[in-house]
Structure 1
Amino acid sequence: MEKKNNTLKRGLSARHIRFMALGSAVGTGLFYGSASAIQMAGPSVLLAYLIGGIFAFIIMRALGEMSVNNPQAGAFSRYAQDYLGPLAGYITGWTYCFEILIVAIADVTAFGFYMSFWFPNVELWVWAISVVLIIGAINMVNVQVFGEFEFWLSFIKIATIIIMIVAGIGIIVWGFGNQGQPTGIHNLWANGGFFANGVIGMILSLQMVMFAYGGIEIIGITAGEAEDPKKTIPKAINSVPFRILIFYVGTLFVIMSIFPWNEVGTHGSPFVLTFENLGIKTAAGILNFVVITASLSAINSDVFGVGRMLFGMAEQGHAPKMFTKISKRGVPWVTVLFMMVGLLFAAYLNYIIPENVFLIIASLATFATVWVWIMILLSQIGFRRQLTPEQIKGLDFPLRGGVTTSIVALVFLFGIIGLIGYFPTTRVSLYVGVGWIVLLVAAYYIRKAIADRATTITAD
């Protein structure tokens, strides 16, 4: 089953990579999660998404600079090792894997709940097993099939958002579904003003807004299987953040123009209400289909992302060597199987452990997202310091402003960590995150001591 040439196959086009990143970052966070940010900031949440989008773009350009120069599987873990040291690579890789596993568990669980909307008599565990087996089979075929499947799942989600924006503009300008009375955009300042909760409300919402952009870093993981990394990676990175920004800002602009911002989320999903205003009575069923595709897309990307990260870490010596095994189709099949077993076991635990325990574990995903972004920026700074001025000028896809831009973004991200600690509901993620890092540091040095001892015994 294993190939003699133990390398991943390059089969992901710019179209695949672009929609993978869009699919990862635009999902349930927009459909259901944006309401909390709106309640915190009011209409000024639009400005928060603009600011967040700028910094998400900086993070992606920093990752792109390294990915185009040296395309690798498990990209940002590899770059952390190469430019910051083995310990940084070890911690970053395992933190990302654990984060994505937790996110995937939530998506598998959510898939079961979405399906129960249509099939209330079917046990949730049936859907959990079914979706893991289906996604596992797709990831086993080859990377092109995976990319095509991910493209269409993301396409459905993105198309729905575009239709919703267009329909919303119809309601705002021409009064479609509102007895021909245009709603206009006065709701953006009619209920306490644009900064309804003050500038501080907008700033406080940034921690929620930034997590909406979580997932776009998967672009870096695709570098090892992109057809032409020097062309596909820059195309994807340059287009994705701005498209995500348009979807988030455009959607929320429409929603808060039609509905007073302080009523968003209080009478059901604004997506459902917008479609129902157009006379589409089956709006709930349509949206349920869309969020099912969103969860499938997320699980598909999660299995891919963890699999390739573990493959890269195994090559670096930070994970078991068996994770480097490649099938005839160029797929790291052991990592896919590992992720499937992990998902099935973790989904089972999700059903039986107390909810507050799972929330503590899930809070690590909050910390891990920011940790990965910080390590990407620090790695880019370390990368630049190894280059001569001539080599920096010769970079194919440089981050404009170089180290200075990365430092500004780092200050912003540390500010986000401060906001996480500010709220009692999210503060637990800092405690859990710090504990996780300490655990990984201990594991790294214990593993290193065992390896050094084995080497000494062998030499003797």
Structure 2
Amino acid sequence: MSSPSRRSSTRQSEPPQGPAPVPHHTLARGLTTRHVQFIALGSAIGTGLFYGSADAIRMAGPAVLLGYVAAGLAVFLVMRALGEMAVRDPGAGSFGRYARTYLGPLGGFVTGWMFVIEMLVVAVADVTALTIYLGHWWPEVPGWVWVVGAIALVTGLNLIHVKVFGETEFWLSLIKVTAIIAMIAAGLTILALGLQVPGGSHPTVENLWAHGGFAPYGLWGALVSLTVVVFAFGGIETLGLSAAEAEDPGHAIPRAINTIPWRVLLFYVGAIGVILCLAPWTTVDGRSSAFVQIFDAVGLPAAANVLNAVVITAAFSALNAITFSIGRMLHGLAEQGDAPRALARTNGRGVPVAAVGFVAAALTVGLVLNVLVPEGVFMLVASVASFATVFVWLMILLSHVAMKRQIARSELSPGGFPVPGWPVASWAAVAFMVGVLVLLGVGSASRPALWTGLVTLVVLVLAHRLSAGPRRAARRNT
């Protein structure tokens, strides 16, 4: 049996002639602080913000801004909990491995695979969205061409080197950030100059309370909107998976996480707040992006094309980050014995080739099923992503609580980057996540997400129990 130190020393020495007797399992540390910060920045800015905000606005009216503030604060605490664990142990598998370490093997298995399922479903949705957006410009091109091209491109980018992924995400995120800042600036200019927008609406801050009040559906409307709002932040936990490949995780991870509060205020509260001032919230019909109103208000002739380009960038960036995150989670699961051992193998550049290839294959199968399976059945399966997002965040929080209890018992030494307001803030975040899961079951539209998620959870628990024997046998043979 080869020890981790033996494998590490083999990596650093001259490569042997012929095939290596033991596969490499080490990820390369190639992400700079700049890369990590923009991975964190871009992971929470996707189609959920550009298109999902319309549904949230219709549920709560202007009070949706409170929902984004509350959800943003809770997500910040989740990321601080993840950050404290990542700075202590910036290894492969991130929160899947932390759940295993602090909550037990079942916790690690369920958390890791729930995240993989969540991200695969979201990835299928992003590829489907890309075909729609690109079809807007080139309707004569068959959709499958865009599907094949998108999967091939993100797979290729993720197979070259982690620095290529980091650099790609940096520029894609920069485009998204620049677009949102430009939209906010345009909206503020319209408000400051008192310009008229198409349709005769008068841009004014009074639009926040002049059409049925700030909370037209009361507190309940704001609460129900959380079931949509929280998923706009889905994928932000990808930042934790980047710790294993960051050149200086102790510096990069805290810096990236500490930018979350101002990002929430600027890109969510700021952008949506400006939109709600430009025109009555009642004009948002949910059939298109609420952000298009800013382009129309500016009178930009190519408004539709500009928005289309931004959303294509957002969807591709999300797909790129998802391919990275699933590959790294599968690599971590394989190292723990919770996935086929071959998925832990990396090439000479430290890329988990088999895991990335698995993602490409799974995406292809998922997209074929999207076409063949009846829409109602596929949407039911896809709804597990809604449950899984909050479930993974909850497991991160509970893993952190278990770690802090070990510190309190002097079983672990206190680490750097502690969660602010511990323990009150952490338990408040746990209560928030449980509350969102309850809200999923209350609303008739979101109830399938809860039941599908619970069924998936039961299946994963059974899968863990059934695979316990083979895992033990594999460890004995290692």
Using structure 1 for the length normalisation, give the TM-score.
0.95
The match for 1:342 is 362
Q: Which deviations, in whole Å up to 9, do the C-alpha atoms of 1:7-36 show, x marking residues without a partner?
A: 111111222122222222112112111111
2:51 is the alignment partner of 1:28: no
The match for 2:63 is 44
1:146-295 to 2 correspondence within 5 Å? 146-176=165-195, 178=197, 183-265=203-285, 268-295=288-315
2:33 is the alignment partner of 1:10: no
Shift, 1:182, TM fit:
7.2
Q: Please, which of 126, 132, 135 is the counterpart of residue 116 of structure 1?
A: 135
The match for 1:54 is 73
Q: Please, which of 155, 163, 173 is the counterpart of residue 136 of structure 1?
A: 155
The match for 2:426 is 406
SS of corresponding position for 2:231: helix
1:293-442 to 2 correspondence within 5 Å? 293-388=313-408, 394-442=414-462
Q: 1:143 to 1:44 in 2, by over 3 A?
A: same
CA contact (8 A) 2:190 2:203 kept: yes
Q: Distance in 2 between matches of 1:163 and 1:337?
A: 37
Shift, 1:198, TM fit:
1.3
Shift, 1:388, TM fit:
4.2
Q: Quick check: 202-211 or 92-101, which moved more?
A: 202-211
Percent pairwise identity? 47
Q: Which deviations, in whole Å up to 9, do the C-alpha atoms of 1:93-149 show, x marking residues without a partner?
A: 011001100000111111111111011011111110111001100001101111000
Shift, 1:347, TM fit:
1.0
The match for 2:12 is none
Report the number of matched residues: 457
Q: 1:328 to 1:452 in 2, by over 3 A?
A: closer
CA-atom RMSD in angstroms: 2.1
CA contact (8 A) 2:86 2:94 kept: yes
Q: Which deviations, in whole Å up to 9, do the C-alpha atoms of 1:316-350 show, x marking residues without a partner?
A: 11111111111111111110111011111211111
The match for 1:69 is 88
Q: Which runs of 5+ in 1 are unaligned?
A: none
Shift, 1:244, TM fit:
2.9
Q: Distance in 2 between matches of 1:316 and 1:268?
A: 44
CA contact (8 A) 1:68 1:396 kept: yes
CA contact (8 A) 2:196 2:202 kept: no
Q: Quick check: 344-353 or 138-147, which moved more?
A: 344-353
Q: Distance in 2 between matches of 1:389 and 1:250?
A: 43
Q: Which amino acid aligns with 1:140?
A: L
Q: Quick check: 172-181 or 379-388, which moved more?
A: 172-181
The match for 1:125 is 144
Q: Which amino acid aligns with 1:293?
A: T
CA contact (8 A) 1:173 1:182 kept: no
Q: Which amino acid aligns with 1:332?
A: P
SS of corresponding position for 2:241: helix
The match for 1:96 is 115
CA contact (8 A) 2:69 2:264 kept: no
Detail structure 1 runs of 4+ shifted over 6 Å in the superposition.
Answer: 1-4, 179-182, 389-393, 453-456
Q: Distance in 2 between matches of 1:24 and 1:131?
A: 18
Q: Distance in 2 between matches of 1:290 and 1:208?
A: 21
CA contact (8 A) 1:171 1:182 kept: no
Q: Which amino acid aligns with 1:117?
A: H
Shift, 1:429, TM fit:
1.4
Q: Distance in 1 between matches of 2:211 and 2:84?
A: 44
Q: 1:66 to 1:451 in 2, by over 3 A?
A: closer
